Chain A
Amino acid sequence: MDETHGTTPAELATGGRVSAEHTGRSTPRGTRAAVTAVIVPPVAWVAALGLSYVVQDFTCTAYASNGAPAPSAGVGAVILATDAVLLLLTVAAGLVALRTVRHARADGGRPLQAFCGLLGVMLAVAFGAGIVLIAVNPLVLEVCP
């Protein structure tokens, strides 16, 4: 965590960050995975909130506008399934990020990669919890009143 700051002599000896990224043209696979793992959780959370809202509000409203009874349970199930898939994606991103941290540290401490991995883990935890908080609502409240 905090230890990732600065550059230790050990890194200098092993070439450290020099191998991490090369003049923008080629990015090692590990770094690419780490960056992906940083981007997936926020996107998943936005998708979870957006889809839960759109599916619930728009479906219920569309039924109400047509004067038909809305399939509350069905809509709830769709929301739960969507959120579950997005949660799985987030967890997977978190695991990839965790692996990045381990590899980067084992590799003689590539601080940038370790940092990206750590960021990915923290974002996965935060947004994963956020998705859970969104997904529980249809279980407690009636989906289409």
Chain B
Amino acid sequence: MSGARAAARTAVGAAVGALTVTSLAACSGADRPMSMFSPSGADASRVDSHWQMLLLLGSVVWLVVMGFTLGAVLRRRRAHREDEPRGRGHVVVAVGGALVPALIITWVMADSVLVMRDTGGQGEDAGTVVEVAGHQFWWEVRYPEDGVVTANEIHVPVGEVVRLEMTASDVIHSLWVPQLSGKVDLNPGRTTVMTINAQEPGTYWGQCAEYCGLQHAWMRFVVVAHEPEEFDGWLEAQSLPAEDPGAGGEPGDPADPDAGDQDPQVVRGREVFMSSSCVYCHAVAGTEATGTMGPDLTHFASRQTIGAGVLPNDRESLARWIVDPQAVKPGNAMPGTDVAGEELEAMLDYLESLE
């Protein structure tokens, strides 16, 4: 039986180790931007408490079963015939295998239905409605009441229910911000709804959770939760068209004091941009760029990332992206450009001015 004892020791060791790792991990979840263990949304918090119940219950059940397994292997016994009727095994099976699990299951089921009732709301009377469209491989975000269009960022007010009305333009995607709420799919041809109710201001990372093709891995986004006044300010700023460096005439035009204040590099960049193929796919509100294939760039410079989370939004990354987006994120819809040198610098200046 020494083999049995060794097996038992290993099993116990593994079990204890597993539980230790879990609890350690759960505690250290705070610095992970997509950790379910540090919920900040109403739904995510509710599910978190449900999970803790499930974990506790599950661990107890598992440990009890393993305890009996160990006992069955190790306990001493006298010899007997294989088919000799002994004990009341079937009673143990009926009670321990059917009745007790049925009670536990009923409990879990009841809790699950209650959590289901508390979460996954439709937000019929939500103050803010956001339309989200999933594209291969980025997120289009609209605030229809305020005429705001942005991409790969959803800004929400803290402490309020925000209703997301979601659809997809090509294939199925799924919107998931673990710290705020469970995920809901975005289906082409139909609208699904989910709500977000962030409890604390901050930036929460999200990601597409339904395999959607080549760059599924880089279809990320952020949810930025603002204090309500700050959110209103953001909304207002975003609803304005882009500042037009060339509008109203030549520099020095007395009728337009703003004109000419602009960096000539920006004006130059704007020309480069508008004369390039960029405008067929991208829109900048208030200009002749009205493409809808790619993200709206009206307030591009105010965003945190490029290419749905693949690069940070800084000048160097932007240059890499514009020159050869296929090297950064192969399979995305944006072709490379031959803009280079001074023209590229100017275009970067222009894009960075779109705040």
Contacts and interface: CB of A to CB of B under 8 A. Distances in A.
Indicate if A touches B (C-beta under 8 A).
yes
B117 A6 contact: no
A106 interface: no
Contact of B117 (A2, A126, A140): A140
Chain B interface residue number, banded: 10 to 19
Contact of A145 (B90, B106, B109, B122): B122
B116 A141 contact: yes
A137 interface: yes
Interface string A12-46: 00000000000000000000000000000000000
A6 B83 CA distance: 10
Contacts of A2: 85, 89-90
B27 interface: no
Interface string B105-146: 010010001001100001000000000000000000000000
A1 interface: yes
Contacts, number: 18
A129 interface: yes
B83 A137 contact: no
A133 interface: yes
B18 interface: no
B91 to A, nearest CB: 9
Nearest to B114: A140
Interface of A: 1-3, 5-6, 126, 129, 133, 137, 140-141, 145
Q: Give 9 nearest A-B pairs by CB, closest first.
A: A1-B90, A2-B90, A140-B113, A2-B85, A141-B117, A133-B109, A129-B102, A145-B122, A3-B85
10 contacts: A2-B89, A2-B90, A3-B85, A5-B83, A126-B98, A129-B102, A133-B106, A137-B113, A141-B117, A145-B122
Given A2-B85, A126-B98, A129-B102, 7 more contacts: A1-B90, A2-B90, A3-B85, A140-B117, A141-B113, A141-B116, A145-B122
